Copies of this chain bind each other. A is one copy, B any other.
Amino acid sequence: MDEFGLIEEFFTRPARRAEVVLGIGDDAALLALAGATSTLAVTTDTLVEGVHFRPSAPSFDVGYKALAVNVSDLAAMGARPLAFLLSLAVPMADRTWLAGFRDGLFTLADAVGLDLIGGDTVRGPLAVTITALGSVAPGAALRRDGARPGDRVYVSGQLGEAALGFLLRAGRLSLPSRFHESVLTRLDRPWPRIHEGQALIGIASAAIDISDGLVADLGHILKASGVGAELDLRRLPLSEAYDAAFATVGYDPAIAFGDDYELCFTVPPERVQALAGIAPHPPCGFHYIGDIVAGAGLTLRDGQGVYTPAQAGYNHFDGPAPL
């Protein structure tokens, strides 16, 4: 199988979106945007075998998650998904692996309305790079730099589920078996908050998706906005599974592990009421966890006083890699 046969067999489908003028098969793809009403949002993320996913990971999950982490970035901008490009490095052309990968990729692509419009397949250590393109009305994007003192800090869904899944799979956590599937699914197939992101336009003053952990990612909002924040950890949205593990793991997996792909966002007090008008899909809820304050830095409080996490966010170059 050559490179072109591989693309034709596994990845070529008719484009569905009207914006796609030309998809896979030329030197570049062509996309028509209604420039007066749309700004292009573009993001790229790479997953490397042995760093971002374990070598034994099902290829369905690799394909799904590689796209999910990119879609989550579009969600955090409030962008509408349009199209994506895939660069796939594989040591060899393994049909079974590729079919599963393709299925995982397209399952999410279809769910959020993304056309695959181009890419590259090369021989190399297994790695997946996806570039996702979306559109957002001019001036409407949810940036990181809009938080102001007095704004409330919210997160969607529940935090720490993926962390529990990681600890469970690594044999570092016991958890009642009825929780196993849900925490592993949250780790392997996160659902990007694409609907919530678009709904938050005009309501949120700043937003980010939680990929490196709440502390690290909220930290990016604080730095970009030139503000501080105070969070009450007792307000964190934790699942029944997390409650079962809390005595063992405490707060850290929910705030300092990452891979949640929930949204963290800030809302000026006068717009808080508008949140009630958003029906999250699937149901996730928005949870008020603290406030933006003048100054800099993040203060965490639990029932005992100020809380300091053992590690703040995942760093590829200073820390161990989660597998």
A207's closest neighbor in chain B, by CB?
A: B27
Does A31 make an interface contact (CB < 8 A)? yes
- The listed residue with most B CB atoms (<10 A of its CB), out of A3, A29, A30, is A30
B27 touches A208 (CB 8 A): yes
Q: Shortest Cβ distance from A320 into chain B, in angstroms?
A: 10
- Set of chain B residues within 8 Å of A32, measured between Cβ atoms: 35, 39-40, 138
Bound-state CA distance A122–B47 (Å) is 8
Identify which of residues 12-43 in chain A touch chain B, using a CB-to-CB cut-off of 8 Å. 21-22, 25-43
* Interchain CB contact under 8 A, A48 and B317: no
User: Would B315 and A3 count as touching, CB distance under 8 A?
Assistant: yes
- Decide if A299 is an interface residue (CB 8 Å cutoff): no
Residue of B nearest to A52 (CB): B122
Minimum Cβ distance to chain B for residue A316 (Å): 4
A317 interface neighbour in B1, B22, B27, B47, Cβ under 8 Å: B1
B318 contacts A2, CB within 8 Å?
A: yes
Contact A85–B42 (Cβ < 8 Å): yes
B118→A43 contact, CB < 8 A: yes
Restricting to A102-138, which residues have a CB under 8 Å from any CB of B? 117-125, 127, 129, 131-134, 136, 138
Does A239 reach chain B (CB closer than 8 Å)?
no
Please count how many residues in chain A sit with their CB below 8 Å of the partner chain's CB atoms.
75
Contact B317 A93 (CB under 8 A): yes
Interface residue A182 (Cβ < 8 Å from any Cβ of B): no
Which residue from B41, B77, B123 sits with its C-beta under 8 Å from A51? B123
Q: Is A232 an interface residue (CB 8 A)?
A: no
Tell yes or no: A279 within 8 A of B by CB: no
Within 8 A of B (CB), among A272-323: 315-318, 321
Shortest CB–CB separation between residue A221 and chain B, in angstroms? 10
Chain B residues with CB below 8 A from A27, complex form:
43, 73-74, 76-77, 144, 207-209
- Chain A 30-74 per-residue mask, 1 if CB under 8 angstroms from chain B, else 0: 111111111111111111111110000000000000000000011
Contacts A28-B41, A32-B35 known; A48 to B85 CB distance under 8 Å? no
A131 contact from B21, B37, B85, Cβ within 8 A: B85
Residues of chain B contacted by A31 (CB below 8 angstroms):
39-40, 42
Which residues of A80-98 have CB atoms within 8 Å of chain B's CB atoms? 85-87, 89, 92-93
Question: Once bound together, how far apart are the Cα atoms of A76 and B143, in whole Å?
Answer: 34
Cα-based distance from A40 to B34 in the complex (angstroms): 11
Chain B, Cβ-Cβ closest to A1: B317
Write 12 A-B pairs (CB below 8 A) sorted by A numbering: A28-B41, A28-B42, A30-B40, A30-B42, A32-B39, A35-B35, A40-B40, A42-B131, A43-B118, A46-B89, A51-B124, A93-B317
User: Besides the contacts A26-B143, A26-B144, what 19 more A-B pairs have beta carbons closer than 8 Å?
Assistant: A1-B318, A6-B317, A27-B74, A28-B74, A28-B134, A29-B43, A32-B35, A33-B33, A33-B35, A34-B35, A35-B38, A44-B119, A44-B129, A44-B131, A46-B122, A47-B122, A48-B122, A51-B123, A87-B129
